[in-house]
C-alpha cells in the first residue's frame, strides 16, 4: 500500500498523483479499499481504545481516497467519452 502522502510537501502530493495515474483500475480499487480499511482502523482506534491518534491522518486518508476516486473517474470518462 502506498503511504498516504509520504510527507506534506506539494512535491509529495504530485508524486502520489503520478503514481496513482499510472495504476490500472484494479490497482486503484485496491488502493481505495486499503485506505478505507486504514481509515476505519484509525477511527476504531480513536473511538474504542481511547488512544491518542494523529487527527490530521483522518483528512489525509479521506483526501487520498478522493484523489484516487477522481483519477478512476477521469480514466472512465476518457474511455467512454
**pTM of this prediction?**
0.82
Q: What pLDDT is attached to residue 53?
A: 84
Q: Which residue has the cell 506539494?
A: 10
Q: What pLDDT is attached to residue 65?
A: 97
Q: pLDDT tens, 14-67?
A: 888 999 999 999 999 999 999 999 999 999 999 998 888 888 999 999 999 999
Q: What is the CA radius of gyration of the chain?
A: 14
Report all structural domains of the chain as residue ranges with CATH numbers, in order of start: 10-80 (1.10.287)
Among 13, 71, 3, 7, residue whose Cα is nearest residue 34: 3
pLDDT over 50 (residue 1)? no
Q: In whole angstroms, what is the distance from residue 32 CA to residue 10 CA?
A: 21
Amino acid at each position: 500500500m502506498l503511504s498516504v502522502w509520504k510527507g506534506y510537501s506539494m512535491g509529495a502530493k504530485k508524486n502520489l498523483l503520478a503514481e496513482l495515474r499510472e495504476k490500472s483500475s484494479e490497482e486503484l480499487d485496491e488502493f481505495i479499499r486499503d485506505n478505507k480499511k486504514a481509515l476505519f482502523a484509525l477511527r476504531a482506534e480513536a473511538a474504542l481504545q481511547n488512544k491518542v491518534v494523529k487527527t490530521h491522518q483522518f483528512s489525509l486518508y479521506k483526501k487520498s481516497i478522493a484523489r484516487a476516486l477522481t483519477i478512476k473517474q477521469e480514466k472512465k470518462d476518457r474511455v467512454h467519452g
